[in-house]
Amino acid sequence: MVYTTLVSMTRKNKLSRSLLRIKKFFLKNIVLTRFIIFSFVLFIIFFFSIFVFNYLRNSGVFYYFDLVRAFVFPSFSDFKSSGRRVNFLILGKGGAGHEAPDLTDTMIFASLFLGEGSRKPNITLISLPRDIWISDLRTKLNSLYYWGNKKQENGGISLARVKTEEMLGVPIHYVIVVDFGVFREVIDLLGGVNVYVENSFEDKWYPIEGKENDDCGGDPLFRCRYKTVAFEKGWHNMDGETALEFVRSRKAEGDEGTDIARQRRQHQVIEAIKNALLDKSFFLSPVKVKSFLNLILFNTETDIDAKAAFALARYAFLARGNIKKEILNERFLDNPPISPKYDNLYVFVPKGGDWKNVQVWVKEVLEY
């Protein structure tokens, strides 16, 4: 018993002396001690970081962090561009219930300048007449999206891009196709938009949605398919349906019945929507903002990926007060008589027989 106790005490004394020597060693070598402690902490942080990184990556959180980063700190690597410009083709199609749901009766070339030096970001909009004749395809500009989709799945965006690039002489990086139904809903969500009607006009042949195939009891003019819409000169607060009639009307008598007049009216409504979106009653309402985003996301076809959309949204926001609007008009276009040469259609063709003058003008407008 006594022997066992002595052995145990001896072992304890040896352990104490060993610990004392180790303690003295570290106290004498304080730099080494700090280095070992610091290395151990770094080791723990490193492996903990790897664990957290893998968890976030697998959970998809990084994806959303990257979207926020793209908006707050946009980089040129986030999107396609040419120099300091990103070009878009915006197509507005009739959608379900319209007599020609896949014809793009609204066509706008939009160029976003990203800013450089003292020049701030800006946006240039150029409206394109729907009736421009595309000679090699024997169809009109507003039919490209339709025929592209007929040829192959999702081919509408590609065909519209290629032919518009050939016409304007500048690259188009992204295409956006919007259903006119969302146009109406967005305006109603905003509580209507204020638009100044520059010229009074009346259109007795505005198509009624849902009556495209009505035989009208044998009426050869199919008058039951149409209604009369009229606008008086002056300011109007338009709901979605009224604004749609204002920009779609094509059969008014006089100057307001031309395709060029339609483009001008489209610019007016786009400007009114922009003003409404920038009003504090909209952007301070989370419910309205969420509803607006849902409308756009679920009614838009585009080749813009999410990261590019967030990055470009930042530049578009910075350019919100600097928007220039142009129209490709009669200065560059001829309206030839209806004839078999153009399949008996009402069309516009380029003056001089090619698009060279238009391409020069576009580059001047964009300051390329």
pLDDT of residue 97: 55
> Could you give the angle at the alpha carbon of 20 between the alpha carbons of 16 and 24, nearest 5°?
175
The token pair that represents 253 in the structure block: 């008598």
The token pair that represents 145 in the structure block: 């999206």
> What is the torsion angle, in degrees rounded to the nearest 10, for the CA atoms of residue 344, residue 208, residue 125 and residue 167?
-20
Distance CA 45, CA 232 (A): 71
Distance CA 221, CA 214 (A): 11
Pairs from 212-216 (Cβ < 8 Å, separation ≥ 24): 212/98, 212/99
pLDDT of residue 84: 92
pLDDT of residue 42: 65
CATH fold of the domain at 86-366 = Aminopeptidase (3.40.630)
Q: Which of 182, 222, 200 has the alpha carbon at shortest distance from 90?
A: 182
pLDDT tens for the 368 residues of the chain, in order: 544 554 455 555 555 666 566 555 555 556 555 666 666 666 666 656 555 555 545 555 667 777 788 888 898 899 999 989 999 999 988 766 566 678 898 899 999 999 988 889 999 999 999 999 999 999 999 999 999 999 988 899 999 999 999 999 999 999 999 887 788 899 999 999 999 999 999 999 998 888 888 889 888 888 898 999 999 999 999 999 999 999 989 889 888 988 888 889 988 998 899 888 888 888 788 888 888 888 887 888 999 998 999 999 899 989 988 999 999 988 999 999 999 999 999 999 999 999 999 999 999 999 87
**How is the chain split into domains, by residue range?**
2-59, 86-366
